[in-house]
A and B are shown apart, each in its own frame.
Chain A
Amino acid sequence: MDKAPVTSSFRASLPRVFEKMIEFLIRTCGWSSIICVAAIFIFILREAAPILPRLNWVEFFTTTNWRPNPALGNTPHYGALALIIGNFAVAIVSMLMAVPVGLAAAVYVSEFAGDKTREYLKVAIEILAAVPSIVWGFIGLTVLNPLLIKYAGAELGTNLLNGSILLALMSVPLIVSISEDALRAVPDSFREAALALGANRWETVYRVLFPAARNGLLAACMLGVGRAVGETMAVLLATGNTNQIPHSLVDPIKTLTATIASEMGEASTGGDHYRVLFVIGILLLLITCSINLIADYVIKGAKAKANG
Chain B
Amino acid sequence: MVDTVDNPFAPTLVEQKKERVASVAKWTTFAMAVSLVVPMLLIIGLIIAKGFPAISMSFLLENPRQSGAAGGIWGPLVGTFCLTLVCLGIVAPIGVLAGIYINEYAPDNKMTRAIMIAVTSLAGVPSIVHALFGLAAFVTALGLGKSVLVAGMTLAVMTLPVIITSTREALSAVPRNFREACWNLGASRWQTIRTIVLPNSISGILTGVILVVARAAGETAPIMLTGAVGFKPLETEGIERWLPYHLGDDFMAMAMHLNTISRDVPNMPVENKFGSALVLLVLILAINSLAVGVRVWLRRRKRW
Q: Is A150 an interface residue (CB 8 A)?
A: no
Q: Chain B's nearest CB lies how many Å from the CB of A104? A: 4
Q: Is A149 an interface residue (CB 8 A)?
A: no
Q: Which residue of B lies closest to A289 (CB)?
A: B121
B115 A31 Cβ-Cβ under 8 A: yes
Q: A29-B97, A124-B40, A293-B121 are in contact. Are A281 and B132 (CB under 8 A)?
A: yes
Chain A residues closer than 8 Å to B105, beta-carbon distance: 23, 26-27, 30
Chain B residues closer than 8 Å to A138, beta-carbon distance: 258, 262, 273, 277
Q: Is B86 an interface residue (CB 8 A)?
A: no
Q: Is B119 an interface residue (CB 8 A)?
A: yes
Q: Is A208 an interface residue (CB 8 A)?
A: no
Which residues of chain B in 207-240 are interfacial with respect to chain A, using CB atoms and an 8 Å cutoff?
Answer: 214, 217-221, 224-225
| Surface stretch bound by B, among A1-9, A73-81, A223-231 | A223-231
Q: Is A261 an interface residue (CB 8 A)?
A: yes
Q: Is B25 an interface residue (CB 8 A)?
A: yes
A284 B263 Cβ-Cβ under 8 A: no
Could you give, for residues 277-291 of chain B, a 1 whenever the CB lies within 8 Å of some chain A CB and a 0 otherwise?
A: 100110011001000
Q: A23-B190, A289-B121 are in contact. Are A281 and B128 (CB under 8 A)?
A: yes
Q: Which residue of B lies closest to A120 (CB)?
A: B37
Q: Is A205 an interface residue (CB 8 A)?
A: yes
A132 B219 Cβ-Cβ under 8 A: yes
| Surface stretch bound by B, among A43-51, A63-71, A245-253 | A43-51
B97 A109 Cβ-Cβ under 8 A: no
B115 A33 Cβ-Cβ under 8 A: yes
Q: Chain A's nearest CB lies how many Å from the CB of B269? A: 13
Q: Which residue of A lies closest to B43 (CB)?
A: A139
Chain B residues closer than 8 Å to A121, beta-carbon distance: 33, 36-37
Which of A40, A143, A288, A293 makes the CB contact (< 8 A) with B43?
Answer: A143
Could you give, for residues 17-44 of chain A, a 1 whenever the CB lies within 8 Å of some chain B CB and a 0 otherwise?
A: 0010011011101111110110110011
User: Bound state CA distance, A201 and B218, in angstroms?
Assistant: 41
A127 B133 Cβ-Cβ under 8 A: no
Q: A134-B258, A139-B43 are in contact. Are A33 and B29 (CB under 8 A)?
A: no
Q: A134-B255, A230-B129 are in contact. Are A26 and B100 (CB under 8 A)?
A: yes
User: Bound state CA distance, A105 and B262, in angstroms?
Assistant: 32
Please tell me the size bucket of the interface on B.
35 or more
Q: Is A137 an interface residue (CB 8 A)?
A: yes
Which residues of chain B in 18-37 are interfacial with respect to chain A, using CB atoms and an 8 Å cutoff?
Answer: 18-19, 21-22, 25-26, 28-30, 32-33, 35-37
A104 B33 Cβ-Cβ under 8 A: yes
| Surface stretch bound by A, among B1-9, B61-69, B136-144 | B136-144
Q: A33-B98, A43-B141, A105-B29 are in contact. Are A132 and B37 (CB under 8 A)?
A: no
Q: Chain B's nearest CB lies how many Å from the CB of A284? A: 5
A30 B97 Cβ-Cβ under 8 A: yes
Q: Is A148 an interface residue (CB 8 A)?
A: no
Of B126, B136, B164, B221, the most chain A CB neighbours within 10 A belong to B126
Chain B residues closer than 8 Å to A107, beta-carbon distance: 29
Of A47, A109, A172, A293, the most chain B CB neighbours within 10 A belong to A47
Chain B residues closer than 8 Å to A39, beta-carbon distance: 133, 137, 157
Chain A residues closer than 8 Å to B225, beta-carbon distance: 261, 264-265
Interface of B is mostly: helix
A44 B129 Cβ-Cβ under 8 A: yes
Q: Is B243 an interface residue (CB 8 A)?
A: no
Which of A29, A44, A141 makes the CB contact (< 8 A) with B262?
Answer: A141
Q: Which residue of B lies closest to A259 (CB)?
A: B128
Could you give, for residues 89-132 of chain B, a 1 whenever the CB lies within 8 Å of some chain A CB and a 0 otherwise?
A: 00001110110111001100000001101111111111111111
User: Bound state CA distance, A226 and B93, in angstroms?
Assistant: 29
User: Bound state CA distance, A87 and B246, in angstroms?
Assistant: 38
Q: Is B206 an interface residue (CB 8 A)?
A: no
Chain B residues closer than 8 Å to A176, beta-carbon distance: 36
B117 A293 Cβ-Cβ under 8 A: yes
Q: Is B170 an interface residue (CB 8 A)?
A: no
A261 B36 Cβ-Cβ under 8 A: no
Q: Which residue of B lies closest to A264 (CB)?
A: B225
Q: Which residue of B lies closest to A101 (CB)?
A: B32
Q: Is A278 an interface residue (CB 8 A)?
A: yes
A–B complex contacts, Cβ < 8 Å, 11 sampled = A36-B122, A40-B129, A105-B33, A121-B33, A134-B255, A230-B127, A230-B129, A232-B220, A284-B126, A289-B121, A292-B124
Chain B interface (Cβ < 8 Å from any Cβ of A): 18-19, 21-22, 25-26, 28-30, 32-33, 35-37, 39-40, 43-44, 46-47, 93-95, 97-98, 100-102, 105-106, 114-115, 117-133, 135-137, 140-141, 157, 160-161, 164, 188-191, 214, 217-221, 224-225, 255, 258-259, 262-263, 270, 273-274, 277, 280-281, 284-285, 288, 292
Q: Which 4 A-B pairs have the closest CB atoms?
A: A230-B126, A30-B101, A132-B218, A292-B124
Additional pairs, 9, CB under 8 Å, beyond known A30-B101, A261-B221: A26-B100, A40-B133, A44-B129, A101-B35, A101-B36, A105-B33, A127-B288, A131-B284, A135-B47
